[in-house]
Amino acid sequence: MMDTKSVALIFAIFPLSCLATDGKTTFQYEHNWKTMDRRHSDSIKLIHKLTSGWSYEVKFSTSAGGNSNYDTAYDDMQGGSGGLVIGKDFKLSDKKSTITPSFETSIGSSSVSYQPGIKYNYSINKEWSAYARYRYELKKISRSTRYSTISNSDKYGYAGDTYLSKSDTGRHRLDTGLTYSGFKDLALTYVFNYYLGDNVTESYSYKNGKFIEKNYTVHNGKKNDYENQFKIQYKYFKKLMPYLEVDDVTVSGTSASRQAKIKIGFNYVF
């Protein structure tokens, strides 16, 4: 697995070749906070889009506040992860539709994810646009973290044994969005996400001499989940576009509760 320093190095080096070519480059910074987890996190992206329709994206994210250090931003930064995204726009003959196949790889401290996908975008008129997208996310756990070791004090004959405790997972991701740009300086967007996944390898929990196969859960003990996203973007400045987004997300895979994820960020085009 690649560590945080390696991901940061990729973020620093990879875009240089893109910046030397034609097209448009966007820098994005975003700060997140979840109302029940009470954790702050930050992400940065560098996106370069060529006039030919090819696009390249490098991203890096980290979170703040370890242990019980809740509600603290930019302190005790940890959990760095990064990724690369490549895509290609294909304009259809109606001149209002675009199909974009893409491939993404994300690198975390204990896993790597691969995510092919395809997106359909439709420009309804000058004020309204809509899209639909499908992605499949395969998440592979590192060898160093997929195994657990039973305590040497175990009384059931398994003292010191190792066993598979984390599974590789596969998840279907579907999202659709609608954007209204009829205001002079504002754009409003609503996005609905749906997730459906499962374990693609076996894993177990161990207690009192028994191994129990783990189930894949993302919300309230189920294999499916959803999210609602509401975003407002300010377009007064030519190159700098700040935005505010509020998402409705789950708390954990075993909880029926939901929470708000608040995002504040900006896009800068150069």
pLDDT at residue number 66: 67
270 residues of the chain, pLDDT tens digit each: 444 444 444 444 454 455 556 789 999 999 999 999 888 999 999 999 999 999 999 999 998 876 667 888 888 787 778 999 999 999 999 999 999 999 999 998 889 999 999 999 999 999 999 999 999 999 999 988 999 999 999 999 999 999 999 999 999 999 999 999 999 999 999 999 999 999 999 999 999 999 999 999 999 999 999 999 999 999 989 899 999 999 999 999 999 999 999 999 999 998
Tokens at 184, concatenated: 């002079």
Question: Measured between alpha carbons, how far is 100 from 52 in angstroms, rounded to an integer?
Answer: 12
Say what the pLDDT of residue 69 is.
Answer: 72
pLDDT at res. 72:
84
Residue 136: both structure tokens together? 């499949």
What's the confidence (pLDDT) of residue 39?
A: 87
Q: Which domains does the chain have, with CATH numbers?
A: 4-269 (2.40.160.40)
What pLDDT is recorded for position 64?
Answer: 83
pLDDT of residue 143: 87
Say how far apart CA 173 and CA 234 lie, in whole Å.
28
The model's pTM is: 0.88
Sequential DSSP letters for the chain: ---HHHHHHHHHHTHHHHHTSSSEEEEEEEEEEETTT--EEEEEEEEEE-TTSEEEEEEEEEEE--TT-TT-SSSS-EEEEEEEEEEE-EE-TTSSEEEEEEEEEEE-SSEEEEEEEEEEEEE-SSSEEEEEEEEEEEEEE-TTTSEEE--TT-SSS-TT-EEE----EEEEEEEEEEEE--SSSEEEEEEEEEEEEEESS--EEEETTEEEEPPP-SBTTBSEEEEEEEEEEE--SSSEEEEEEEEEEES-TT---EEEEEEEEEEEE-
Buried b (16+ CB within 10 A) or exposed e, 160-186: eeeebbbbbbbbebebebebebeeeee
Confidence at residue 8, expressed as pLDDT on a 0 to 100 scale = 47
Give me 221's structure tokens: 């003990």
